[in-house]
Structure 1
C-alpha cells in the first residue's frame, strides 16, 4: 500500500468578505474535508499556512478551528500545520505540546533547531519525510544592516530565503538519504497568478523567489499563500489555493486540494475539486440591465450567493447614482445578497488627478494651468484660447466677489 497525503492551505478561518462572516462556508468545507479524508483513506493532512485570517483570531475563529481538530481525531489522520504571513506564531504554537499528543504537529514560526521542522511518517510499509517550513519572516532570514538601500533589502531577503531552504535540504540529505521528501512553504513564488485577496508579503512581493530555490531534493513542494490553485514552473511545485473564494476576483476559480500518493521514493499527485457552497457573482451593465439580471437571478447554492454591482452609463446623472444606492439597500430574496457596487460614466468629467502625469503634484499648478491641461486632453476643443480667456474672467470675478464680502 501507499501513504496518502492531502495538501491544502490558506483556510483564513475568521475571514469576513465585506462584513459577511465566512464561517458557514468554512464549516461546510470542513464537513467535506472530513468526508474526503475518510473516503480516500488519507494518512496525513498538510495545511501550508494562513490558518487564520488575523494574527489575533476571534474566539469564534479559535473555536471553529479546535472543533474541527476534535472531529478529525477519530479518523487517525496525522496533521501538519504551518504558520503563514497572516498568522501569529505564538497563537499557532500555544497548544503545541497538547496537539503533539494527538498526532497534530504545528509549526507557527521558525524553530531554534532545524530538525524540529521534520516529520517522519511511516505507514503501510512506506516512509515519507516532510519538512514543515512556515512563513519566513524578515528577522528569521537576515540581519538588517545600517544604511542598506531598498534594493539591497530585497536581495538580502531573497538570499536569506534561498539559504534557509538550502539548510533544510542539507539536513534532509544528511539524515534521510533517498526517502520520499515533501517540503511545505508559505511564500510568493515568481510566475504565480494572484487574486485580490492575498496580502502582500516581503516588501510588496518584490522579494519573490524562483522555484529553483527549493532545490532538486523535494519530490513535492506544498505551497501556501496564493489563493488560486496552480503549479509554479513544474507540476511538483504547487499551490493548493484557498478552499473557498475569498474575493470577487476568485469567483470563477475551481477550488481544490491536492492528493499525494507516496510509494517508495515516488510521489504522484492529482487534484480533487472542492464543491462550491455559494457563488460570488458580478452584475454589470446599465441600471436597467442590472435590475433585470437581479430580478431574474436563480440559485441552487447551499448558502446565500454574494453579488457586486458595476453600473455603466453614458453620461453623469444623479438619478443613476440614486438608483445604485437603492439597489444596494433593497431587500433581495434569501438566495442573493448584494455586498458592494460602483458606477462608471463613459462621458464623465475628468477629475484633476487624471490630468497630472506621474510625479506631478496638483499644488504646483494654478487653476488656469489645470484648465489648460484639461483642454489639451479634449481633441474636440478648437477655441481653447477663447475658453482660457473666459475662464480667467470667471476667476477674476470670483476674486472680486471675495473682496467685496
Structure 2
C-alpha cells in the first residue's frame, strides 16, 4: 500500500498583495499526475488546506476540483483540519464525501473511534489516526486560580492523552495492523519559517515533544510547520512541509511530499518526492545603486512570473534617497519580474534604535517617559524641541490609556 503525506497547502494565500492561485493550480496538477503515475492508494492532508477560515470562491473551487479529479483514481483521501481551517466548513460536506472515499475530520469530538480509519488494499491493512488540530478548548477546561504554567501543562497533557487514547484504541481493537498518526501541531525542536505566524498556538505553548507520542505508531504525518524535516531522534515523526513557498523566507526550501510504502504489516520505505519550482522568489539587497544594478542583471526563472523582495539600506536618511526609492518600482514596471515588496531603511536610524534597547536596565523597569527620552536622545533631537515633543507625547499617551 502506497501512502502520500502532504500538508499546509494554504489555498487562498497571498504573498503580500500577490495572488498565489496559479502556483496552487500548478501544484495540484502536478500532484494529481504524481498520484496517478505512482499508483498512490491513500493521500493524507494534515491540515491547513486553506489560508483563512473563510476561504474565497477561488480557493474552494481549487479544493473541489482536486477532489473531483481524484475520483476516477479510486484513491482514498483523508483530510484533517488545521489551525487556519474552519472545522465547520471542512465538515459540512463530510457525509457526502465519505461515500466518495474522502474522509474529513475538521475537529475532534473527543471520541477516538471517530478519528481512526481502517483501510484495506488487498491483503494489506492500515490504520490511520486522523487527528486534527487540537484547540485549547478541546483539551482542557479553564479552572479558576490556575497559573500560566498550570494551563500550559494542561494543554501538553491534553495533547499527550489524546494520542495515548488513540493508540490504545488502535491496538485494542486492531492488533498487528500498522498505524499512521496524523497531527497538526508544533513539536519542540522543529525549525520554523517566517510565514508561521501563530506558531506558539497550542502546540508551541505546550512545547510538545516528539517523545510524547506514544509507542505503537509506525509513522506520524505532521502539518503546521512549513519546513520539511524529521523531528526527534528517529525517522518516523516528520513534517512534509508546505508544497510551495508561502513567504520569501521559504524561497530556498526543498518543497516536497512524502511517499510511504507499507508491506507485510510494516513501513518499508519513505521517499521524498520533490515538488517542481513553478515560481522563483528572489531577495535583492544593498544600497540603491547596488539594487538598481542587481535588478538590471536579474534573470527570471520558473513558468510563473518571478517575484522579488527588495531590501534597500542607505547610510543616512535624506530626501533624495527617498525619492529615488519611490521611483524604483516605476523604473522596473515593465521588467520580466514583479517587485512584490520593497523596503527602505537607513543605517544611522537602525543603529539609533539598537542603541535605544542596548541598556543595562530592563525595558519593563522604565517608565514610558524614560523610553521616550531615550528615543529622543538617540535621534539627536535639539534641546528646545525635546520639551515640546515630550509634552505632546504625554498628552497622546494619556488619551490612549485614559
Q: TM-score under structure 2 normalisation?
A: 0.89
**Match of 2:284?**
283
**Match of 2:62?**
64
User: Cα deviation per residue 1:164-219 (whole Å; 9 max; x = unaligned)?
Assistant: 11111110110111211100000000010001111324358221210012111111
1:125 counterpart (123, 126, 135)? 123
**Contact 2:152 2:206 (8 Å CA) reproduced:** yes
Alignment of 1:4-403 (within 5 A): 4-200=2-198, 201-202=200-201, 205-233=204-232, 234-267=234-267, 268-333=269-334, 335-348=336-349, 355-356=356-357, 357=359, 358-361=363-366, 363-365=368-370, 370=374, 374=378
User: Cα deviation per residue 1:21-63 (whole Å; 9 max; x = unaligned)?
Assistant: 1111010001100111011110000000001111111122111
**Contact 1:229 1:239 (8 Å CA) reproduced:** yes
**Match of 1:384?**
none
Moved more, 100-109 or 61-70: 61-70
Distance 1:333 1:4, change over 3 A: farther
**Contact 1:309 1:342 (8 Å CA) reproduced:** yes
Count the aligned residue pairs.
Answer: 383
Superposed displacement of residue 372, structure 1: 9.4
Moved more, 133-142 or 204-213: 204-213
Distance 1:332 1:124, change over 3 A: farther
The root-mean-square deviation of aligned C-alpha atoms, in Å, is 2.5
**Contact 2:356 2:375 (8 Å CA) reproduced:** no
Q: Give the secondary structure class of the aligned counterpart of 1:193.
A: coil
**Structure ID, larger Rg:** 1
Superposed displacement of residue 370, structure 1: 3.5
Distance 1:205 1:330, change over 3 A: farther
* Residue segments in structure 1 that go unaligned for 5+ positions in a row: 376-386, 400-405
Query: Separation in 2 of the partners of 1:12 and 1:398?
Result: 45
Distance 1:41 1:291, change over 3 A: same
Query: Separation in 2 of the partners of 1:372 and 1:202?
Result: 37
**Match of 1:378?**
none
